[in-house]
């Protein structure tokens, strides 16, 4: 094997691509959890986004229409979850699982005619002379537009949660829904909107996988990305900036293990392919072992359903 | 406007009625799905729910399949239901099932070709221990480090799948298999084979184990102090702590039992219907068992009925795939919808729906 064949600049540029789908899904879920809702259906929403985006892009020949369709599909599936948990007061854990099982099945059904198709290409953005800069150029100034969208989303969500009235209401609803209700905020409406936003983000993340990262449609292609996004929210301690850090660390691990596979590292492929999941578990352990800190940063009403009494 | 009013305690009548209603609604929604796919919905529903049991043409083949498919579902669901009752969410049964099968297969292949009556019981022990050990990972991480057991148990499914691939192509591969992936055929190794006990019924040792698990779960949940603690912890965690129920011990017991049951299910499958360890050995029983547990109301008797019903959708799904070329994934959608409807209808057992006329509402919001 030849570790020297792995080019660090290329590695960083491609880890950003590997991290973007998880980052998008994690940012959406972060907002959902900040509103006090635990949506375990991220995996199901992502894969529906992946197949809808792919199908729409192949049919229309336009990748951006595909992305829009994926956003719509993600929000639609999230709406099912919102109705179940917010209107019909169903258990959030079970509803999220149902969403994942349903999404995996439905995506396989929808995607049947699209196995082996090639999606329209999405061009990378170039910034003239900036792109030609050594090292910085390929990393910062030659990515596809969605990488920049995801970065803007990190900043946007951070600012919105911290500094706007809407963000404060959302956090109040997530910290203590009874107090928020007593103050006159519409707990249910805030949560439904947050769930829809989370679904849209996860759908877009899924489409990024099928249209840009892979780009192809295969059954079950998200392979746990949605679950990793959920873990990432815990790792991030519900802070957008740390979600970015976590996603890029994780993307680095994914790209590195793929590079090691390609370089013929003397470990069977299957063990290398396990590493992202094992590392995610280790990170979860590290984050949660500090009991005081996790319970302080987790939204107070996370996972509890709200029913206005009387 | 409709308004929900929380019932003081869940309605017993709706508790029994909602699973039946959910199945009916799923049939209707499924029919619409099949119509969209351009198939005759009535024929499809008949093929899935009626023909596997009662048709002259297919019945003799598919009736035994019912027990073969229901066995692992019921066995796994029993273990899961104990945990779910206590609010402990083991959703990684699929991984525990795989690891159980791998351990059992490893024991069988280690003894191969020696014949002994001890091999089969040892495989059961190995399967149960394998599943138990895999479930102990989230359990210990939960009790020691307070790590979320939902995420860890689920992520370990992916690790188990990779381990399965490594076993099928590497350390458990058949040395006489000309380099093809897959282990030796354990079903053809007399000491290890899990054969049909009564011809043409589909009953193998896995079915017996499922029956034993149902009895065990019933006695434990309804008659044993441990079952009382499980239910107490699920319904009133604070009261449970005052009553001296140690949450950590409960986590270890619930996840351990769930893992052991799933591991045993994997053992019976690899030595029986699946015949060998292959890359695509797992068929999603661990996930479908979650639906079985909920549809059966987390009650052992309900789980038996729900397990048989979901086994029927597997068999009927294959039949519909063969006869009407309905895609296999449609059945997965069908099972997912069933859980949706069930969760949605639960509102009827937990809440009263009241018509709130404007102007007549007395409470100030």
Q: What is the pLDDT of residues B233-258, one digit of tens each?
A: 888 888 888 888 888 999 999 999 99
Is the distance from CB of B120 to CB of B191 less than 8 angstroms? yes
Highest-confidence range of A131-135, A182-186, B356-360, by mean pLDDT? A182-186
Mean pLDDT, all residues of chain A: 88
What's the CA gap between A163 and B124, in Å, rounded? 59
Q: Which pLDDT score, from 0 to 100, does residue B56 have?
A: 79
Nearest to A307 among B4, B152, B290 (CB): B4
What CATH code is assigned to A3-113+143-297?
1.10.3470
Least CB-CB distance to B333: which of A105, A268, A288?
A105
Mutate to test the interface with B, among A223, A224, A226, A277 (most CBs of B within 10 A): A277
CATH for B64-326 is: 1.10.3470
Query: CB under 8 Å to B268, separation ≥6 — which residues?
Result: B71, B72, B75, B127, B194, B204, B205, B206, B209
Q: Is the dihedral of CA B115, B118, B120, B126 positive or negative?
A: negative
Of all residues in chain B, the one with the smallest CA distance to A272 is: B162
Q: Three-class SS of residue B353?
A: strand
Tell me if residue A134 falls in helix, strand or coil.
coil
Please list, in sequence order, all residues whose beta carbon lies within 8 angstroms of the beta carbon of residue B314, skipping any fewer than 6 positions away.
B65, B69, B288, B331
Cα separations in angstroms, A138 against A6, A15, A130, A252: 15, 12, 9, 16
Residue B63 has pLDDT above 90, yes or no: no
Q: What is the pLDDT of residue B307?
A: 95
Q: Quick one: which H or E segment has residue B354?
A: strand B351-355
* B279-333 pLDDT tens trace: 888 888 999 999 999 999 999 999 999 999 999 998 998 888 888 888 888 888 8
Answer yes or no: is pLDDT of A246 > 80. Answer: yes
Give the nearest chain A residue to B162 (CA atoms).
Answer: A270
pLDDT score for A43: 95
The C-alpha atoms of residue B49 and residue B54 are separated, in whole angstroms, by 9
pLDDT of residue A161: 94
Residues with Cβ < 8 Å from A300, sequence gap 6 or more?
A36, A174, A175, A176
Say whether A219 and B145 touch across the interface (CB within 8 A): no
> Tokens 């491609």 identify what position?
A14
Nearest chain B alpha carbon to A85: B344
Helix H or strand E segment including A11: helix A8-34
Alpha-carbon span A200 to B357, nearest angstrom? 36
Domain boundary assignment for chain B: 1-37+329-365, 64-326
B364 — pLDDT class (breaks 50, 70, 90): very low
Q: Chain B residues with CB inside 8 Å of A274's CB?
A: 158-159, 162-163
**Is residue A113 a contact partner of residue A217, using CB atoms and an 8 Å limit?**
no
Residues of B in contact with A231 (CB under 8 A): 151, 155
Secondary structure class of B171 (helix, strand, coil): helix
Determine, for residues A89 and B329 on separate chains, whether the beta-carbon distance falls below 8 Å. Answer: no
In a 3-state reduction of DSSP, which class is residue B355? strand
CA distance A148 to A208: 13
For A233, the closest chain B residue by CA position comes to B151
Distance of CA B157 to the CA centre of its chain: 14
Neighbours of A292 (CB within 10 A): 7
CA angle in degrees (0–180, nearest 5) for A84-A87-A90: 40
- Cα B36 from chain centre: 29
B265: pLDDT strictly greater than 90: yes
Cβ separation A228–B335 shorter than 8 A: no
Smallest Cα–Cα separation from B209: which of B150, B131, B146, B284? B131
3-state secondary structure string across A149-185: HHHHHHHHHHHHHHHCHHHHHHHHHHHCHHHHHHCCC
Identify the pLDDT of residue B192: 85
Surface-to-core class of residue A135, CB atoms within 10 Å of its CB (0-12 exposed, 13-18 middle, 19+ buried): exposed
Out of A89, A274, A308, name the one closest to residue B162 (CB). Answer: A274
Q: Please write the tens of the pLDDT for every residue from A112-165.
A: 888 888 888 877 777 777 777 777 777 777 788 899 999 999 999 999 999 999
> Could you report the per-residue pLDDT of A251-294, keeping only the tens digit for each?
988 888 888 887 777 778 888 889 889 999 998 898 887 765 66
**Residue of chain B with shortest Cα separation from A285:** B147
Chain B residues near residue A104 by CB distance under 8 angstroms: 332, 336
Q: How confident is the model over B108-121, as a mean pLDDT?
A: 89
pLDDT of B202 above 60? yes
pLDDT tens-digit profile of A13-38?
888 899 999 999 999 999 999 999 99
Reading phi first (left if > 0) and then psi (alpha if -120 to 50, else beta), residue B279 is in: alpha
When mean pLDDT is compared across A102-106, A249-253, B53-57, B124-128, the lowest value belongs to: B53-57
What's the gap in Å between the CA of A288 and the closest CA on chain B? Answer: 5
CB-based contact A112 B141, cutoff 8 Å: no
Give the whole-angstrom CA distance, residue B180 versus residue B108.
20
* CA distance to partner chain A, nearest, from residue B214 (Å): 22
Summarize the confidence of residues B18-40 as an average pLDDT: 90
Closest alpha carbon to B109 in B44, B33, B188, B42: B188
CB–CB contact B145 A84 (8 Å) = no
* H/E stretch holding A74: helix A63-82
Reported as a pLDDT band with limits 50, 70 and 90, residue A296 is low
Q: Which residue of A has its CA nearest to B339?
A: A98
ipTM given for this complex: 0.89
Q: Which of A227, A271, A285 sits opposite B145 (nearest CB)?
A: A285
Torsion region of B115: left, alpha or beta (phi above 0 gives left; psi -120 to 50 gives alpha): beta
Q: Residue A310: is its pLDDT beyond 60?
A: no
Do A270 and B165 count as a contact with CB atoms less than 8 A apart?
yes
Q: B108, B298 in Cβ contact below 8 A?
A: no
Q: Measure CA A160 to chain center.
A: 18
CA angle B67, B69, B74 (to 5 degrees): 80
- Mean residue pLDDT of chain B comes to 88
Which of B4, B89, B146 should we substitute to test contact with A (largest number of A Cβ atoms within 10 Å)? B146
Q: Which residues contact A285 (CB under 8 A, 6 or more apart)?
A: B141, B145, B147
Read off the pTM: 0.91
pLDDT, tens only, B332-343:
888 899 999 999
Which residue in the block uniquely carries the two structure tokens 């661990």?
B286
Task: Name residues whose C-beta falls within 8 Å of residue B235's C-beta, 6 or more positions apart in sequence.
Answer: none
Q: Map out the domains of chain A as residue ranges.
A: 3-113+143-297
> Tokens 């009874």 correspond to what residue?
A178
B157-181 pLDDT per residue, tens: 999 999 999 999 888 888 887 778 8
Helix intervals (H) in chain A: 8-34, 42-60, 63-82, 92-111, 136-140, 145-163, 165-175, 177-182, 187-208, 225-235, 240-262, 269-289, 291-297
- Residue from B142, B153, B159 whose CB has the most chain A CBs within 10 Å, to mutate: B159
According to DSSP, the residues that pair with B351 across neighbouring strands are: B6
The answer to whether the Cβ–Cβ distance between B327 and A274 falls below 8 Å is: no
Q: What is the mean pLDDT of residues A221-228?
A: 91
Q: Say whether B3 sits in a helix, a strand or coil.
A: strand
Residue of A231, A278, A289 whose CA lies nearest to B137: A278
Return the residue of A nearest to B159 by Cα.
A274
**Using the beta-carbon criterion (under 8 Å), do A112 and B335 form an inter-chain contact?**
no
User: Rounded distance, CA A96 to CA A73, Å?
Assistant: 16
Asked whether the beta carbons of B239 and B70 are under 8 A apart, the reply is no
Question: Which among A94, A97, A106 is positioned nearest to A52, based on CA atoms?
Answer: A106
Q: Which tops the pLDDT comparison, B354 or A65?
A: A65
- Rounded CA-CA distance B244/B240 in Å is 6
């Amino acid at each position: 094997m030849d570790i020297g064949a792995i080019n660090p600049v290329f590695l960083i540029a491609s880890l950003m691509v590997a991290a973007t789908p998880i980052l998008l899904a994690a940012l959406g879920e972060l907002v959902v959890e900040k509103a006090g809702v635990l949506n375990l259906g991220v995996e199901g929403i992502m894969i529906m986004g992946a197949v809808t985006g792919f199908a729409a892009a192949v049919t229309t020949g336009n990748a951006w229409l595909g992305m829009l369709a994926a956003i719509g599909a993600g929000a639609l599936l999230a709406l099912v979850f919102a109705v179940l948990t917010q209107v019909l007061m169903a258990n959030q854990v079970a509803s999220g699982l149902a969403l994942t099982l349903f999404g995996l099945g439905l995506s396989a059904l929808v995607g049947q005619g699209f196995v082996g198709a090639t999606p329209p290409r999405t061009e990378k953005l170039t910034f003239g002379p900036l792109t030609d800069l050594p090292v910085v150029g390929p990393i910062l100034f030659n990515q596809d537009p969605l990488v920049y969208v995801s970065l803007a989303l990190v900043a946007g969500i951070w600012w919105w949660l911290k500094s706007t009235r809407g963000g404060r209401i959302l956090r109040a609803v997530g910290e203590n829904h009874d107090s928020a209700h007593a103050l006159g905020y519409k707990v249910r409406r805030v949560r439904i909107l947050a769930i829809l936003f989370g679904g849209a983000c996860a759908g877009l993340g899924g489409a990024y996988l099928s249209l840009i990262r892979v780009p192809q449609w295969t059954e079950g292609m998200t392979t746990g990305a949605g679950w990793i996004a959920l873990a990432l929210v815990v790792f991030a301690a519900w802070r957008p900036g740390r979600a970015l850090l976590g996603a890029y660390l994780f993307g680095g691990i994914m790209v590195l293990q793929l590079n090691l596979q390609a370089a013929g590292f003397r470990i069977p492929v299957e063990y290398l392919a396990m590493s992202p999941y094992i590392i995610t578990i280790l990170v979860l352990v590290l984050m949660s072992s500090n009991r005081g800190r996790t319970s302080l940063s987790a939204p107070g009403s996370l996972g509890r359903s709200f029913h206005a009494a009387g | 406007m409709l308004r929900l009013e929380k019932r003081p305690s869940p309605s017993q009548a709706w508790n029994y009625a909602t699973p039946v209603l959910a199945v009916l609604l799923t049939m209707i929604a499924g029919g619409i799905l099949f119509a969209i796919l351009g198939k005759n919905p009535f024929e499809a529903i008949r093929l899935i729910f009626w023909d596997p049991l009662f048709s002259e043409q297919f019945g003799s083949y598919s009736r035994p399949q019912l027990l073969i498919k229901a066995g692992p579902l019921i066995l796994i669901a029993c273990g899961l239901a104990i945990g779910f009752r206590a609010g402990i969410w083991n959703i990684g049964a699929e991984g525990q099932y795989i690891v159980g099968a791998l351990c059992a297969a490893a024991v069988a292949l280690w003894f191969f070709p020696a014949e002994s009556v001890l091999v089969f019981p040892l495989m059961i022990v190995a399967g149960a221990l394998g599943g138990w050990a895999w479930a102990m990972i989230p359990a210990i991480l939960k009790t020691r480090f307070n790590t979320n057991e939902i995420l860890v148990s689920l992520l370990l499914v992916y690790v188990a799948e990779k381990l399965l691939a490594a076993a099928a192509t590497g350390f458990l591969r058949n040395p006489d298999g000309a380099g093809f992936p897959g282990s030796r055929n354990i079903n053809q190794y007399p000491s290890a084979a899990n054969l049909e006990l009564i011809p043409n019924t589909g009953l193998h040792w896995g079915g017996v184990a499922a029956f034993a698990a149902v009895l065990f779960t019933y006695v434990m949940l309804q008659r044993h102090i441990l079952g009382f603690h499980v239910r107490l912890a699920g319904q009133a965690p604070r009261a449970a702590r005052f009553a001296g129920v140690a949450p950590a011990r409960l986590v270890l017991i619930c996840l351990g039992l769930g893992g052991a049951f799933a591991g045993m299910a994997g053992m019976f499958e690899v030595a029986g219907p699946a015949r060998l360890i292959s890359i695509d050995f797992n068929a999603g029983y661990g996930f479908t068992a979650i639906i079985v547990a909920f549809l059966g109301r987390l009650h052992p008797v309900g789980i038996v009925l729900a397990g048989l019903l979901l086994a029927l959708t597997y068999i009927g799904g294959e039949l519909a795939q063969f006869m009407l070329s309905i895609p296999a994934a449609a059945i997965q959608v069908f099972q997912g919808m069933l859980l949706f409807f069930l969760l949605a209808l639960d509102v009827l057992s937990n809440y009263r729906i009241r018509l709130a006329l404007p102007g007549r509402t007395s409470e100030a919001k």
